[in-house]
Chains A and B, each alone.
Chain A
Amino acid sequence: MTTFDTRLLAVLAVLAFVVMGLSRIRVSEVKVLFWFSFVFMVLNNLLIFLFSPEHGVSIYGTRHEIAHLFLRYNLVQEQLFYQLNVVLKYLATFPVVIVFVSTTNPSEFASALNRIGVSYRIAYSVSLALRYIPDIQREYHEISIAQQARGLEMASRKQSLFKRLRNAASMLFPLIISSMNRIEVIANAMELRGFGKEKRRTWYSARPFRVADYASIIICVLMLAASILMNVLNGGRYFNPFV
């Protein structure tokens, strides 16, 4: 998690894309997510360069200037190498997250959280959140249509900031008040069914461990061990090719 060893990051990035391929997710389904991630990565890299064009020099301790750009901005090998690491780190995480999001069933996720030791009350909160996101979205949409029917202007770009905030408020308040009622109804229903009486609970969607599960746990432990080992071997978080 904390390693910036370039070789390990490169291997992990390749593995991440292999996992993505194995998952048989269609590219068209996750194109938007990829696009978001890409923009985020580019923006973050630009910001890093803007604020700290010589951050790599302070990390690697040497300075190989390639060219002068403008003002205090120079093209330095160390900086390019550092930002290559940042990019690799993104490439190693994006695909894995996308695979996780698009292949995990929310109920199974809650039961899995409980299995790894998270209190079942918190696990249940997570599954409640996932369960009610579509409902709340729909309700927000309905409130928005109802308010427009009553004459609320929604052409947001032309309005002043204050007007926009007021419009948002006139949709937010009904949403919150109805959500508060919803909380009471659900809590009563759960209490009637005895939720929270026992120290443990079972999950309808719990699944027994299979060989593949053990294998993936072992692989994950190995990757963690590799990243710790690299931290020790490099004497820090960075692999330094400059000395």
Chain B
Amino acid sequence: MKKSPVITVVAIGIGAALFFVLGRFVAIPSPVPNTNISLQYGLLGFMAGLFGPVAGLLIAFIGHALIDFSYGWGIWWSWVIASGVAGCIMGLAAKKLALSSDKFGKDKIITFNIFQVVANLVAWAVIAPVFDILIYAEPANKVFTQGLVAGASNIVTTAIVGTLLCFAYTKARPAAGSLKKEG
């Protein structure tokens, strides 16, 4: 599939809409009270892996900003920026993964998960707490604890949901060179 810039524009729009709907309305309560499993980061890993870093960055940035807006507490910029960075780093795997034309084998699963773990760690253990301190002047130990909890839960969700999504998508699509001439 040739990637035209128009595809990226549309992918960002629809991706952000999906991110919003999953994050806002599809909450799966987890055993820990008051925390939900954020399916949207699994989606983000998949969309970023398919459409690249720019799409990943903007899907997460727009989607997360819209979620914050819809709750009415104003945009919590530090976490929105962190989401964008996570999407961007996950998107760096896009070239290696080649989801639209290749099979999703064992090595691809490993690549995908290395990128998503790094992305989530950078975003939630570094970017989010540091910006919390810079913008909102919150106590350091509070924001680092919050960041680590969010990061760990996002890594698990992305590992399960993201990997399964990539797998389902590549199976639903014919791989390049899958047609054989009948002998």
Q: Which residues of A contact B (CB under 8 A)?
A: 1-2, 4, 30, 33-34, 36-37, 40-41, 47-48, 50-52, 55, 59, 89-90, 93-94, 96-98, 100-101, 121-122, 124-133, 135-137, 140, 156-157, 161, 164-165, 168-169, 171-173, 175-177, 179-180, 182-184, 186-187, 190-191, 195-196, 237
Contact = CB atoms under 8 A, between A and B. Distances in A.
A101 B72 contact: yes
B39 A98 contact: no
A196 to B, nearest CB: 5
B145 A51 contact: yes
Contacts of A164: 28-29
Nearest to B7: A187
B14 A186 contact: yes
Given A52-B140, A169-B161, 16 more contacts: A37-B73, A47-B146, A94-B74, A127-B13, A128-B9, A128-B10, A128-B13, A133-B17, A140-B26, A172-B39, A173-B165, A175-B18, A179-B14, A183-B11, A196-B4, A196-B9
Contact of B20 (A40, A101, A129): A129
Contacts of A41: 73
B142 A122 contact: no
Contacts of B177: none
Given A129-B16, A169-B161, A98 B6 contact: no
A186 B168 CA distance: 22
B110 interface: no
B7 A34 contact: no
Contact of B18 (A48, A136, A186): A136
B12 interface: yes
A165 B135 CA distance: 35
A179 B72 contact: no
Contact of A47 (B25, B137, B142): B142
B18 A122 contact: no
Given A161-B30, A177-B172, A190 B10 contact: yes
A196 B8 CA distance: 11
A129 B165 contact: no
B34 to A, nearest CB: 8
Contacts of B135: 1-2
Nearest to A36: B71
Contact of B39 (A50, A168, A196): A168
A132 B141 contact: no
Given A125-B58, A129-B14, A40 B73 contact: yes
Contacts of B137: 4, 59, 237
23 contacts: A4-B137, A36-B72, A37-B73, A48-B138, A52-B141, A59-B137, A90-B73, A97-B72, A97-B74, A101-B69, A125-B9, A125-B62, A128-B13, A128-B17, A132-B17, A133-B17, A133-B20, A136-B17, A136-B21, A140-B26, A183-B14, A187-B7, A191-B6
Nearest to A138: B21
B175 interface: no
Contacts of A176: 18, 43, 46, 165, 168-169
A187 B21 CA distance: 21
Chain B's interface: helix, strand, loop or mixed, by majority?
helix
Contact of A195 (B6, B43, B58, B172): B6
A2 B140 CA distance: 17
Contacts of A93: 73-74
B71 A33 contact: yes
A180 B71 CA distance: 27
B73 A97 contact: yes
Contacts of B12: 122, 125, 128-129
A125 B70 CA distance: 18
Contact of B14 (A36, A128, A165): A128
B9 A97 contact: no
